[in-house]
Homo-oligomer: A and B are copies of this chain.
Amino acid sequence: MEKSGFDLSGNEPDIFSDQEKVDKQSFVPAYAQLAAIIRRRISDGTYAPGSRLPSESATAKSFGVSAMTARQAVGVLVEEGLVNRVQGRGTFVNRLEVTTSNFGLDSLRKVFQQQEKLEVRIIKATIEAASTGLCEIFGLAPESSVVLVERVIYYEKAPFTYQVGYARFDPESPIVETMLDTDVLTGLFFEKGHSSFMKGELRLLPTTIDSREAEYLQAPEGENVFKLEHIFYDFNNTPSAFGWFIISPDKMPLTSRVGVWNE
Contact = CB atoms under 8 A, between A and B. Distances in A.
Interface string A76-114: 000000000000000000011111111111101100100
A9 to B, nearest CB: 29
A220 interface: no
B109 A258 contact: no
A11 interface: no
Given A49-B195, A259-B197, A204 B103 contact: yes
Contacts of A230: 98
A174 interface: no
A98 B249 CA distance: 16
Given A50-B192, A189-B98, A224 B205 contact: yes
A105 B258 CA distance: 12
A195 B100 contact: no
A261 B233 CA distance: 10
Interface residues of A, number: 57
> By CB atoms of chain B within 10 A, which of A98, A201, A249 has the most?
A98
Contact of A203 (B108, B232, B255): B255
Among A48, A96, A102, A201, residue most surrounded by chain B Cβ atoms (within 10 Å) = A96
Interface in A41-92: 43-45, 48-50
A224 B204 contact: no
A202 B101 contact: yes
Interface in A175-210: 189-190, 192, 194-195, 197-208
A206 B249 contact: yes
Given A99-B108, A224-B206, A260 B45 contact: no
Nearest to A79: B79
Interface of A: 43-45, 48-50, 95-106, 108-109, 112, 189-190, 192, 194-195, 197-208, 224-226, 228, 230, 232-233, 235, 245, 249, 253-261
Given A45-B195, A203-B253, 10 more contacts: A96-B198, A98-B189, A98-B245, A99-B105, A99-B106, A200-B259, A203-B255, A204-B256, A206-B206, A206-B225
Question: 4 closest A-B pairs (Cβ-Cβ)?
Answer: A199-B259, A206-B206, A99-B109, A204-B254
15 contacts: A45-B235, A95-B192, A96-B198, A96-B232, A98-B105, A98-B189, A101-B105, A102-B103, A102-B104, A102-B105, A103-B204, A202-B258, A203-B253, A206-B207, A206-B208
